Amino acid sequence: MRSREDVEALLARAEEWQRHDPDPETAAALAELIAGRDECELAARFSGPLRFGTSGLRGVLGAGPTRMNRAVVRQATAGLARHLLASVPDARVRGVVVGRDTRRQSDVFSEDVAGVLAAYQIPALVLPALASTPLVAFAVQHLKAAAAVMITASHNSAEYNGYKVWWGHGAQIVTPHDTQIAAEMTKAGHADEIPVLGRPAAEQRGLWRDVSQPVEAAYGEWLATVPLHSGEGRDLAIVYTPLHGVGGLWVPEALSRAGFEHVRLVSEQAQPDGAFPTVRSPNPEEPSALERALALAEREHADLVLANDPDADRLGVAARDRLGRLRLLTGNEIGVLLGHQRLSQRRAGAPRPLVLTTIVSSPLLGAIARAHGALYEETLTGFKWIANRALELEEETGASFVFGYEEALGYSIGTAVRDKDGVSAAVAIADLAGRCRARGTTLIGQLEAIQHEYGLYLSSQRFVDIGAGTSTDGAELMTHIRGRLPQQLAGVAVSVVRDYGSGVARSAAGGQRLELPLADVLVLDLADGSRVSIRPSGTEAKVKLYFDLAETLAPGEALPVARKRGEARLSALAAAVLADVIGSKSGASERSVTGAGVTGEDGR
């Protein structure tokens, strides 16, 4: 219960924000909340500013500092501009790329970004039509810009929007840039006091430039270089859905240029629409989002299903097993297939290849990389860490980045896009599926061949939702978990606890510092080589649990037999974590399960 003084202070903060809100619509909505003295809603909107998380800001649309709105966008852009001018001497020469997707308010937000940059005398290099996230990431390097901003909330539901930032080297921002931009935001003043230069005046002064033609042409030319097996299995029948996003502007044409002419679009999801009317969540990780694509593939007897999220930086895939059944591939499976493909095509005399993934992705890519003599590392979750670490390792070692992935359907091929790119990944996986078809197998058959050669690695996930309306949040649940860490799970000793929150790995031998940056992630290494990773989601109200293990095949043993044994171990491990580590914490409940990470031809 808030005191009278607390309520009056809350109302005063809201009234001040409302007076300086540059958007009449959100100002009016906030005035209505103030007039109704809606304490709960106002407290939620004024509990603190949106913080730079996944390389930028993301939140529900609405009035107030914890929501996405024009006031927050102007403040963020002023913070970015001030930081650029303080740290990049030629920022006013190089400019900043500005793109946006199809979400609600994306067009208005991107205009504000360009207008604020222009007012700070920093050229806005604008992609005025709908753009994909990988196109914006490509444009940073192609134009040698100082930074880039993309207005998108990626795979989040329709009520969200966001503000993503890349630095001049092409990778998303990490510390210290995120904290320094946030600090400059607080110095920028009230939103209606931040200077904004309108497009006509900015164009006249050369501070608003349409860069669509050169960027789109160059990106299209680069996509044409992605296929490694051009001409093989091009009779493949493909169903594609952009899930109402911008991928439809790129993927069908890129597949056609690669020789795939049998591509059917899910017509009711083909046009960009920020309301996402046919899906509950436009996330290809969610099986329900692909229901229409899978149904069309069955009617058309398609071999392959491809799906992007709304900003086209993620890729979901379904392929047929040897019995002709369509099966969704996990992010680990797609990552292993593409990573193996890229490493297997290494040219003689090329620099040592570099591949990266995250600490919660399958260890199988590491086994493949070591067999190919590649440099391999694992980073924290989030593609900003993969891309920035790749840049560091290239400079330190002379190796050449060829592939990176995270299990949440994000893949990066080469150095043209220093971020996950669902468009180039779609071309690459179709290219590999065509090669498999030409050799009488499938993508799932290729997975089985990889398992025979490099080992049977299995992965699964659990998502624990944070109950709406409870006092529990992700950080609180992680604190609860840290207080319940057991010495064994499912009868197997926990040999090492890697706590990335404290930066220390603890075992019977003592403590050891971890090299990765601090993050709210726990990893439990078990004596039998299995692994449990736990972290709060950076974009949704849930905690994610990841389970990985390697199952040893007996001489002559069939993969399905060993897989069944490994899956039983995974299930027992997951049950033990939910019972002994998560427990009955109020507000948390198990929600969903994904299948074993790398499966075989029988579709298990």
Report how far residue 75's alpha carbon sits from residue 293's, in angstroms, rounded to the nearest whole number: 40
* Cis, bond preceding 176 (omega within 30 deg of 0): yes
Cα–Cα separations (whole angstroms), residue 479 to 13, 278, 316, 545 = 31, 38, 33, 15
596: left (phi over 0), alpha (psi -120 to 50) or beta: beta
Whose CA is closest to 140, among 174, 87, 96? Answer: 96
What is the 3-state secondary structure of 481-526? HHCCCCCEECCEEEEEEEECCCCEEEECCEEEECCCCCCCCEEEEE
Cα–Cα separations (whole angstroms), residue 25 to 30, 190, 274 = 9, 17, 19
Q: At what angle do helices 443-454 and 364-371 cross, to 10 degrees?
A: 70
Cα angle 322-328-329, degrees, rounded to a multiple of 5: 85
Whose CA is closest to 358, among 421, 408, 314, 414? Answer: 408
Query: Is-catalytic flag, 281?
Result: no
Catalytic residue among 106, 110, 154, 424: 154
What DSSP line would sit under 151-188, residue for residue? E--TTS-TTEEEEEEEETTSSBP-TTHHHHHHHHHHHS
**Cβ–Cβ under 8 Å, residues 308 and 272:** no
Report how far residue 249's alpha carbon sits from residue 270's, in angstroms, rounded to the nearest whole number: 9
Whose CA is closest to 267, among 280, 252, 254? Answer: 252
Cα–Cα separations (whole angstroms), residue 131 to 101, 107, 136, 316, 430 = 6, 11, 7, 19, 22
Whose CA is closest to 69, among 160, 135, 145, 131? Answer: 160
**Cβ–Cβ under 8 Å, residues 529 and 549:** yes
Using DSSP, how many helices (H) and how many strands (E) does the chain show? Answer: 19, 24
How far is it between the farthest Cα atoms of the chain?
A: 75
**Cβ–Cβ under 8 Å, residues 185 and 116:** no
Query: 129-142: buried (b, 16+ CB within 10 Å) or exposed (e) per residue?
Result: ebbbbbbbbbbbbb
**C-beta neighbour count of 423 within 10 angstroms:** 30
Which residue numbers are catalytic?
154
